[in-house]
Structure 1
Amino acid sequence: MSRAVRPRRHRIAGLLSLLGELLITAGLVLALFVVYSLWWTNVLADRTAAARGDAVREQWQAAPVPSSSAQAGPGALDTAGGIGFLHVPAMKNGEVLVKRGTDPEILNDGVAGYYTDPVKSALPWDAAGNFSLAAHRDGHGAKFHDIHKLRNGDPIVFETKDNWYVYKVYAELRQTSKYNVNVLAPVPKESGRTTPGRYITLTTCTPVYTSKYRYVVWGELVRTEKVDAKRTPPVELR
């Protein structure tokens, strides 16, 4: 009887050993995937965004000075490369190129995008409306990773070829349904505002490393500054 049991134990031990090796291999593959998703995609996206940002600035330098009516209509500064750069000191994410649209193939390049669907975003130079933006919170540049660090009164600055638009944060919504489009309304009543103004809205996924809900921050325009020859940033960015 003991002779029959011994081979069976060897087979069970062999199967357990194989199972252990498979689990270790699976763990390594999963770890590599996580590294790729959360680190390497950031590296690639940052490289792409930096190159495209440089191209936009080169285009600005080469373009003629616009007439006084050049910014009158939505999209007047909209180019294939981007409309400008978002600066949010509290997030310490550097300058963020802003492009048209919020589809993954756009945001995956390490940029922020303004909404065209299901709600059409206003643009900063419009007389009133809500400049509504989205960006990733993890992976692919993770430009809004630190959105939770924003507090009331913090500056949000948007830079175009000719103007600096300075906003101040006044409200946040730490969690809401990803289907809640009311946060993007021209008058974002969920933020406490009830009259038309010039607002900015930042949105991203939450909790971190998931896409179950949305995190929202609202700001309101407090002033604009013309860009000088040296592109001296407003005091909020110095």
Structure 2
Amino acid sequence: MSSGLGSALRFTIRLGAELAITAGVVLAAFVFYLLVWTNHQTAQAQDDLLEDFHAEQADASKGGGKGAVEKPESGDGLGVLHIPALGEDWEWVVVEGVTDDDLADGPGHFPGTALPGEVGNFAVAGHRSTHGEPFANLDQLEVGDPIVVETVDGWLTYQVMWERILAPSATEVLDPVAGHPGEKAEQRTMTLVTCHPRWGSSERLVIGTQLVERRGPTAGPPDVLA
């Protein structure tokens, strides 16, 4: 092999090795961003939202609060979601909106659907991976499990009624009566939506619930949170 050909071969091998190392570093940085940094950002956002929520509760208890927001703006906190089946300390502030920026702060309320406790469908989406993974284990819920929404005006306890795996195009689950387009709502329901499988987005995991108990702010949390 001539010296010129050998040098070219060595250069090609060295270049390939350097590119592989660079690609590995870039991939590692991307994985770190997804699995660590986005979770950190979301945790900070949730801390701020929870602090604001507790301040609103304190104002309301003194008679100076405005109560629940009737027309929330994107990013506003609507209340705190508690799912006892996913852990005693499982709580997430639900924000208004389902844009990427909204969902980076926590579970998001679909604008145009009912607000917590209203007649109709209070529909909420959340990440199942990255950004704190609020709905990572949503598939562990079973029919009959309670889900509590804590608002400035009190406590709302919903009960899981059904679970389905649907196509992303099945937007009828956001209708006033989930899955029944055009039907008039008479019940107070909540629908939770997330990606399925956990690390994919080819389908949607949808949990349907119905309001079973309402408590005022002075009554204290429901027994399922005791």
TM range (shorter): 0.7 to 0.9
Instruction: Return the letter of the residue paired with 1:122.
Output: A
Taking the aligned partners of 2:212 and 2:64, their CA distance within structure 1 comes to 24
Which position in structure 1 is the counterpart of 2:98? 102
Task: Quote the residue 2:200 is aligned against.
Answer: 210
1:113, 1:134 within 8 Å by CA — same for their partners in 2? yes
Q: Residue 190 of structure 2 contacts residue 210 of structure 2 at CA under 8 Å; is this kept in 1?
A: yes
> Is 2:132 aligned against 1:138?
no
Looking at structure 2, the residues matched to 82 and 211 of structure 1 have their Cα atoms a distance apart, in angstroms, of 26
Of the two, which has the highest radius of gyration? 1
TM-score under structure 1 length normalisation: 0.81
Instruction: Give the SS at the match of 1:90.
Output: helix
CA distance in 1, matches of 2:215, 2:53: 20
- How many Å separate the matches in 2 of 1:169 and 1:61? 30
Q: 2:54 aligns with which of 51, 54, 57?
A: 57
Distance 1:84 1:19 in 2: 53
Residues 66 and 57 of structure 1, relative CA distance in 2, 3 Å threshold: same
Question: RMSD of the TM alignment (CA)?
Answer: 2.6
Which of 40, 44, 48 is the aligned partner of 1:43?
40
Instruction: Indicate the residue corresponding to 1:76 in structure 2.
Output: 70
Check conservation: 1:133, 1:202, Cα contact below 8 A. yes
Aligned to 1:236: 224
Q: Equivalents in 2 of 1:195, 1:81: separation in Å?
A: 25
Number of aligned residues: 220
Work out whether 1:177 is the aligned partner of 2:171.
no
2:194–2:206: 8 Å Cα contact kept in structure 1? Answer: yes
CA contact (8 A) 1:86 1:95 kept: yes
CA deviation string 1:136-166 (max 9, x = no partner) = 1111222111111111111111011232111
CA distance in 2, matches of 1:66, 1:125: 22
User: How much does 1:194 deviate?
Assistant: 9.8
- SS class of match (1:26): helix
Match status 1:225 vs 2:215: yes
User: Structure 2 CA distance, aligned partners of 1:221 and 1:125?
Assistant: 7
> Where does residue 165 of structure 1 map in the other structure?
156
Match of 1:113 in 2: 108
User: TM-score, normalised to structure 2's length?
Assistant: 0.85
Q: State the percentage of identical aligned residues.
A: 34
Compared CA separation, residues 66 and 152, structure 1 to 2 (3 A): farther
Q: Which runs of 5+ in 2 are unaligned?
A: none
> Where do 4+ consecutive residues of structure 1 move more than 4 Å?
77-80
Query: Structure 1 21/7 Cα, relative in aligned 2: closer, same or farther at 3 Å?
Result: same
Q: In structure 1, list runs of 5 or more residues that go unmatched.
A: none
Q: Deviations over 1:27-52 (max 9, x none)?
A: 12111111111221111111111112
